[in-house]
A and B are shown apart, each in its own frame.
Chain A
Amino acid sequence: MSPKKSETGDLLRDTLDMLILKTLSRGETHGYGIAEYIEETSEEVLRVEEGALYPALHRLQVRGLLAAEWGTSENNRRAKFYRLTAAGRKQLAEETAHWGRMTSAIARILEPA
């Protein structure tokens, strides 16, 4: 993986993992669907790099947080669908809690005194 310069909108690895897990908690979908969902939901603020998305999906699958199987997409193409495993669900819960603590802490610091 080439270390990329961090620009606005770039997703840090752990954050990307969490967003993937969160997206899949709504139901199974394919990689393209995940990218689209994140972009739409964030109102185009977060743009998912394919160069980061697919390695992340494969990493999460190897770690057993995701499971994958081939299915047919909305437009009748063969696509690889990912879904959360039990471990993935647990991981998501942990990361969401952690994230909540982090953001509220940062928010407190940034709030005008």
Chain B
Amino acid sequence: MPSEWLNEVWVRVKALVMRKRLERDLEEELQFHLAMREEKNRALGLAGKDAQAAARRRFGNVALVKEDCRENWTFTWMETIWQDVRYAARTLARSPGFVAVVVFSLMLGIGANTAIFSVLNTVMLRALPYPYADRLVAVCPTSKEDPKYDDMPPLAEIADWKKQNQVFDDIAAVGGIWNAPMTGAGEPGPIPVQTVTADFFAVVGVQPALGRVFRADEGHKLFQTVVISNTLWKKRFNGEPSVLGKTFRIEGVVSTVVGVMPAGFESFEQWYQAKSVDVWQPPDPERSMYVKRTDRWSLPVARLKPGVTLAQAQAEMDVIARGLEQAYPESNKGIGEKVVPLYDALYQSAGNKLYPLLGAVGFVLLIGCVNVANLMQSRTESRRKEYSVRASLGAGRRRLMQQLLVESGLLALIGGALGVLLSILATHILRAFAQDLPHADSIRVDGRVLLFAVGLSVLTAVLFGLAPAIRAARPDLNDVLREGESRTSTGTRGRARHLLVISEVAMAMLLLVGAGLMVNSLLHLLLVYPGFDPSNILTMTVNLPEGNAKYTEKVPGRDGMTKSTPQAIAFHKQLLERIAAMPGVESAGMITILPPFGAVSVSFSIVGQPTLSLEDRPHLGFNEVSPGFFRTMRIPLKKGRYLDERDTESAPWAIVINESMANRYFPKEDPIGQQLLLRYEPDRVDEERPRQIVGIVADVKHVGIGGMHALFYESYLQYPAHLYGTLVIRTASDVRAREADLTASVKQAVRELDPDQPVTDIRTMNAVLRKYRSSYQYYVIVLAVFAGMAVLLATIGVYGVLSYFVNQRTREMGIRLALGAQRGDVLQMVARLGLKLSMTGVVIGVALALGLNRFIAQHFWIYHVKPTDPLTYGAVTLVLVGIALLACYVPARRATNVDPMTALRHD
């Protein structure tokens, strides 16, 4: 009823003005009532004094009735809250130590949560920027046998789905995004390129702002049509509409622009949304990787028909998957298709990274709250007298509770404000930490984050303020007033406080174990020798275009297989010779995939040993290298010889294997002289000639820095399968001083050999390794900081409880000392309690961590360290117990310094 409501407000506003008169009226009204009652009592025969007392007794608490009446015509709640805020500020100002500890605890807790939420808010809490975002799904293959299976279906299979399903509007295949050399439009250089099927744009529902999208039949080995980004259009074509029909080359393929996407259009690839892409191109139907059933490169993305549910789509895909299993048992046996919302598919990995952290900061906040609750409880107990007095003076229970909640609210808001400040200060660290996540650059504290922080503050205020408030609101008036100051609260309340501290220590321990395992993993990464000497090495990438007939040719009769031309071999040979001859260069080499970024997978059989069936053929990794690679990287030769200039196409094909491979596949016999027959996926046939092992080199960390993998090397100069590669150049002096001029010289050399070839990714080897480690590093640092906060807060908790314990027992200790107890005994008494509490917490924490070790291993970044690593557990236990002992020390000292006389006179 709006008019009634308005009336109410009007009454209250009026009351504000006529406050004095209304108060007087109320007083008079109630006095009248009392007088009338008194008169009646007298008429019933009670004497004067008794009549008045009876009237008062019957009436009850006049002050309370007044307050209840007043509430109707004043903004009482606001006024009393304001009153309480002032009162709280005054009382809090009298105990700055208490305030400091509480605010600090809350600042850490709320700050950490706000910080992680700001990351989550920017990275994940956003809808996909497509019109039918809620109908977009990813169709991810799953395997019954292999839970980690994440191979994507080939185009041919997606074509089958399209024909057989009734639930999707359309299905597109979305490839990965990589940097491809672009030439013929300004300075040659790498630009982000993505291969998508023609229906990609229709599926996500975004049309080009200019021109059209490419058609399904416009991909070709030598020429194609492409759609470009608004950014590229502005940068390279000045935003002119005449861009349509212009051509340039992507990896040598002549590309004609047919469309320009609208500004701000965000693409995605598997696991990652919002990567920037400058050119979208159709798949080349002749390239075997797009055509063969065995090859898998792209994420299938489909749009559900309106009204179709996820479950219906899943049911349909189950039927289709079973059909495909029967039709193509070789490739599809046991393979199912899981329909997941596209958002989930893209943000799963970001979530995997962030949610554990959210859990960690949740713990930090919880520990902070426990701390504060403990402190509040001690404080409430020492203020019981105050509450009782107030209650006896007519303060209602609600009013007492309200005042305590206002107090905790005030503390929480101050803590929250400082916490927000803390998270703002931490923003750039968070950006660095989240560098591999989408939108990391725009991480900041915005309105939503602030709202979150405020909500969190209020929640914490209730969390730690409610229990003391309830306790304060039911003081046993007579007891407390009569009792004076007895110091015997070691009963259930003391036990509750101890339980809280134990839980704090346990939570801190759990976090510390998680962080400890990650720090241990990081140490593995940082300290482990990569197997080569990374100092003074400059790396850069030269990718010869694959589609270019000059550098690749078909292998006759080999079903789409290609190989490098003699020109390609000559290009690499000449380039390396020229670089090696440059002044200040010690040696130069080249490798397909720079360590630690991986190797190419191949299956093989050993000549002279029984041939295995298709499934059982061993797979391992290899890299193609130039002869100078080993010397440049300083990889020691263990046996035989390195690859060298003699290994040409006409010579017997040679390979060098690493020690791991030698130990694994030739444990008894001498590997030198053994021959392997290689077979590249997706081909179904072996290479035409075997490759002979000519040497064994020391292990190098090619695939990540943690483990060691069996691996071998082929020569770029013999029969290379790959045109791309990274140059490694060792300089005689400090590489950083030579980086600029060496880069210029190499670019010059490349230009002289082939003017169209860009040189990209120029970095020192040390920078490469640093970058590789850095994302983990930040993750570990962030978690370690949170664990540190947890430990700090738990320590404060232990300290607080012991201080309280000592305070409560001052008199007892005084008596003990007066009766001849040694100071050591008193010290022991305090230390024993401290140790008991922290050790119990540690043991529970360890038990929790061991129980959760699977979860920890799965959700935290742990690298070549067992989730139950005893060394880590031991180390963090020592740290925590040590810190807890320190926390015991100060109150224990204080206890031993108790002067018996003062203690006995206490109160």
Point out residues on A near B: beta carbons under 8 Å. Answer: 1-2, 30-32, 35, 49-51, 54-55, 57-59, 61-64, 70, 73, 75, 77-80
Contact = CB atoms under 8 A, between A and B. Distances in A.
A80 B4 contact: no
B65 A54 contact: yes
Contacts of B37: 32
A54 B11 contact: no
B748 to A, nearest CB: 88
B69 interface: yes
A80 B88 CA distance: 38
A54 B60 contact: no
A55 B71 contact: yes
Residue of B33, B71, B398 with highest tally of chain A CB at under 10 A: B33
B34 to A, nearest CB: 9
A61 B72 CA distance: 9
A73 B31 CA distance: 13
A29 B489 CA distance: 54
Interface in B61-79: 61, 64-65, 68-69, 71-73
B32 interface: yes
A58 B33 contact: no
Nearest to A87: B4
Nearest to B8: A62
A78 B33 contact: no
Contacts of B32: 30-32, 73, 77-80
Given A1-B68, A77-B35, A58 B73 contact: yes
21 contacts: A2-B398, A31-B29, A31-B32, A31-B33, A32-B36, A35-B33, A50-B33, A50-B60, A54-B33, A55-B71, A58-B69, A59-B72, A62-B73, A64-B4, A64-B7, A75-B39, A78-B28, A78-B32, A80-B25, A80-B28, A80-B29
A64 B60 CA distance: 27
Contact of A50 (B7, B11, B58): B58
Nearest to A80: B29
Given A62-B11, A63-B4, A64-B7, A54 B30 contact: yes
A62 to B, nearest CB: 5
Contacts of A80: 25, 28-29, 32
Nearest to B9: A62
Given A61-B72, A63-B4, A70-B25, 17 more contacts: A2-B397, A30-B29, A32-B32, A35-B33, A50-B33, A50-B65, A51-B68, A54-B65, A54-B68, A54-B69, A58-B72, A62-B7, A62-B12, A62-B72, A64-B4, A77-B32, A79-B29
B141 interface: no
Interface residues of B, number: 29
B328 interface: no
B72 A32 contact: no
A51 B64 contact: yes
A32 to B, nearest CB: 4
A31 to B, nearest CB: 6
Nearest to A57: B69
Interface in B1-58: 4, 7-8, 11-12, 25, 28-30, 32-33, 35-37, 39, 58
A78 B31 CA distance: 10
B59 interface: yes
Contacts of B33: 30-32, 35, 50, 54
Contacts of A75: 39
A64 B2 CA distance: 13
Contacts of A62: 7-8, 11-12, 72-73
Given A2-B398, A32-B32, A80-B32, A55 B60 contact: no
A70 B37 CA distance: 19
A32 B36 CA distance: 7
A14 B69 CA distance: 16
A63 B7 contact: yes
Contacts of A55: 65, 68-69, 71-72
B396 interface: yes
Contacts of A49: 60
A1 B60 contact: no
Contacts of B68: 1, 51, 54-55
A44 B398 CA distance: 31
A103 to B, nearest CB: 26
A63 to B, nearest CB: 6
B8 A51 contact: no
Nearest to A75: B39
Given A54-B29, A54-B68, A80-B25, A2 B8 contact: no
B3 to A, nearest CB: 8
Nearest to A50: B59
Contacts of B12: 62
A61 B69 CA distance: 11
A2 B68 CA distance: 9
A71 B857 CA distance: 82
A57 to B, nearest CB: 8
Contacts of B59: 50-51
In the complex, the 9 A-B pairs of residues with the closest C-beta atoms, listed nearest first: A55-B68, A58-B72, A32-B36, A58-B69, A80-B29, A32-B33, A50-B59, A62-B72, A59-B72
Nearest to B1: A63
A32 B38 CA distance: 11
A87 to B, nearest CB: 8
B73 to A, nearest CB: 6
Nearest to B22: A58
Contacts of A77: 32, 35-36
A77 B31 CA distance: 11
B64 A2 contact: yes
Contacts of B65: 50-51, 54-55
A28 to B, nearest CB: 14
Nearest to A35: B33
Nearest to B25: A80
A45 to B, nearest CB: 17
Contact of A51 (B35, B60, B71): B60
A38 B32 CA distance: 18
B726 to A, nearest CB: 76
Contacts of A58: 69, 72-73
A99 to B, nearest CB: 21
Interface in B430-459: none
Contacts of B61: 51
B38 to A, nearest CB: 11
A16 to B, nearest CB: 13
B258 to A, nearest CB: 72
Nearest to B64: A51
Nearest to A79: B32
B61 to A, nearest CB: 7
Contacts of B396: 1-2
Interface in B593-629: none
Residue of A57, A64, A70 with highest tally of chain B CB at under 10 A: A64
B67 to A, nearest CB: 9
B24 to A, nearest CB: 11
B228 to A, nearest CB: 69
A2 B29 CA distance: 22
A4 to B, nearest CB: 10
A32 B30 CA distance: 9
A72 to B, nearest CB: 11
A74 B37 CA distance: 14
B399 to A, nearest CB: 10
B10 to A, nearest CB: 10
A59 B39 CA distance: 27
Residue of B8, B64, B72, B396 with highest tally of chain A CB at under 10 A: B72
Contacts of A64: 4, 7
A92 B608 CA distance: 106
A61 B70 CA distance: 12
A66 to B, nearest CB: 11
B7 to A, nearest CB: 5
Contacts of B72: 55, 58-59, 61-62
B8 A63 contact: yes
A2 B474 CA distance: 12
Interface in B145-190: none
